[in-house]
Structure 1
Amino acid sequence: MKMSAERESVGFVGVGFMGQGMARNLLDKGFPLTVLGHRNRKPVEELVAAGAAEAKSARELARRSRIIFLCVTGSAQVEGVLKGENGIIAGAAPGTVVVDCSTSDPMVTVRLAQELEAAGLHLADAPLGGTPAQAALGKLSAMVGATPEVFARIKPACEAWAEKIVHVGPAGDGHKMKLLNNFLSMGYAAIYAEALTLGQKIGITPQNFDSVIRGGRMDCGFYQTFMQYVLQRDRDAHKFTLANALKDVRYLEGVANTVGVANPVGNAVKNSFATAVASGRGEDYVPMLSDWIAGLNGTSLTER
């Protein structure tokens, strides 16, 4: 297949729940793709079978790529893959763009953007909105922080896996917006869990609760995936761990502290997740917070 001028070579680090679908869409849209090997071999092998190349190190991946997407846990992992003798910076040609799709600390993102510019490289942040199922369909959203020139360059590749792309502002602004977005979503999760528990204790079952909320003004996509677990016990309805959710609301707390903003609601949300994670439930998914809150209050949402 002859590649158009827009089809720059792409590297992808982090082919997990979200990354595998994103990477597959890049392949399907004609982008030459290199992925970084991972201890979970299944997604890597599936992508290689579909036409991707595999790199053994981030440095090797950078040598093969002009745009590199990172879809890892957070800022610590981003720095880890960028730096060191086998990192991206060591292998990247001048002008290479690194696009951080993780949910990272925006203060760290701004610093890394400056460090990469000094090395002749560019950093954009493009955190994600959506679920792994939407990633597989190429229907994610992205909130992008980048210069106008870098945004124009990465947009065709982002369009391979996103149906909504918003250029929020310069590097770091995407991650700032993502923390606000996740504050809303994790806040809803904490409220849903508490409301469902209270309802169960006073005789309003989750089924009755849902019959009122669904289709009304308080309904939304996040509510629907949350309740898909509560009502159907579908563990994979929203595959985002409580540990990752806690990381995000802690980042939000750090940003609020940096600018001197009181965020008492944010701290309440953080503590709902922190108690669940401290109890050993960090690998549970976000809708399963409802079971934890119900259990703390001596009830179960599966009881009729």
Structure 2
Amino acid sequence: MSTTKESIGFVGTGLMGHGMAKNIVEKGYALQVVAHRNRVPVDDLVTRGATEATSQEDLARNSTIIFLCLTGSPEVAAAVAAMKPGLKAGTVIVDCSTGEPAVTQKLAADMAEIGVHFADAPLSRTPKEAWAGTLDCMVGADEATFERIRPVISTWAAKIVHIGGVADGHRMKLLNNFISLGYAALYAEALSLSKKVGISVETFDQVIRGGRMDCGFYQTFMGYALEANRDAHKFSISNAYKDLRYIESMANSATVTTTMGSAVKNAFAVAMANGGEKPDAYVPHLVDFIAAANGAK
């Protein structure tokens, strides 16, 4: 039995979305999902009590709150356009992607014209936490919309911060990713230099782990560099590169120099130019691309 009168729609049951949707339906909400390329998550969610919509328009017609967990702003805009004929006034669309703030604001304004509310609620952490229901979430929405969607978000997030109005969640997420992807670029270059001067990955880790420079991101990054676990942090290099371009665009709009941001973006551009665009090339694998560029393994 549903714990609320809200009917939840979910578009984008990929690495993060599958776990999020799983928590929504298992914690008592009526859930509709729609298939894209991969049917496996949809079939799994149906076994847990979700129903499958025949199209995004059909999902919109039967949902009062719709979560989007997609690659980026172009995919979100396309999904909103596909849903628009089925949307009803009073529906809330919650964009959980890492999006471009200017696009988010434009989508919110377009939806307001038909009485549909819009919120951005990007995520932090990994698919492991999505499955456990312990993600971090930063929300951009007016107060009333935030209070309405917060109980549903709390099914899959342990930390929820209301950042401000629409697009502020995406702005904060880009700042968050600037820091995390900056760490990745630093680690990759430091490990390449370490190797070139004769200090092993194992010795490097003995010094950093447990010290002041240690952190959760370091540990998942080193899950690959040290332990060869390719799935230690399943966030693709191509998505990271997309986020870094969004960060640069936001900085350009704010007339902020991007000395560090451009350096980080260029580290990922090296990877993208040498095979890092593959969907199973993840952020910790950046260490291999930077090492190869420096003649190291």
3-state secondary structure, aligned to 2:6: coil
Number of corresponding residues = 295
Give the corresponding residue for 1:73. 71
User: Unmatched 5+ residue regions in structure 1?
Assistant: none
Give the corresponding residue for 1:296. 293
In 1, Cα distance between equivalents of 2:123 and 2:287: 24
Cα shift readout 1:224-251 (whole Å, capped 9, x = no counterpart): 0000011111111100111000000000
**Amino acid across the alignment from 1:61:** L
Cα shift readout 1:259-285 (whole Å, capped 9, x = no counterpart): 111111000000010111122221210
Give the corresponding residue for 1:170. 165
In 1, Cα distance between equivalents of 2:79 and 2:11: 8
In 2, Cα distance between equivalents of 1:64 and 1:160: 21
**Amino acid across the alignment from 1:23:** A
Which of these residues, 109, 113, 121, is aligned with residue 108 of structure 2? 113
Give the corresponding residue for 1:14. 12
Which of these residues, 138, 141, 148, is aligned with residue 143 of structure 1? 138
User: What TM-score do you get using the length of structure 2 for normalisation?
Assistant: 0.98
What's the offset of the Cα at 1:7? 5.0
In 1, Cα distance between equivalents of 2:293 and 2:274: 11
Any conservation in 1 of the 2:274–2:289 contact (CA below 8 Å)?
no
Give the corresponding residue for 2:283. 286
**Amino acid across the alignment from 1:293:** I
Give the corresponding residue for 1:42. 40
Give the corresponding residue for 1:252. 247
3-state secondary structure, aligned to 1:280: coil
Which of these residues, 271, 275, 278, is aligned with residue 276 of structure 1? 271
Counting aligned pairs with the same residue, the percent is 56
- Indicate yes or no: 2:263 matched with 1:262: no
In 2, Cα distance between equivalents of 1:56 and 1:38: 11
**Amino acid across the alignment from 1:298:** G
In 1, Cα distance between equivalents of 2:233 and 2:123: 14
- Indicate yes or no: 2:238 matched with 1:240: no
Any conservation in 1 of the 2:224–2:230 contact (CA below 8 Å)?
yes
Spell out structure 1 runs of 4+ moving beyond 3 A: none
**Amino acid across the alignment from 2:124:** G
User: What TM-score do you get using the length of structure 1 for normalisation?
Assistant: 0.96
User: Unmatched 5+ residue regions in structure 2?
Assistant: none
In 1, Cα distance between equivalents of 2:138 and 2:12: 19
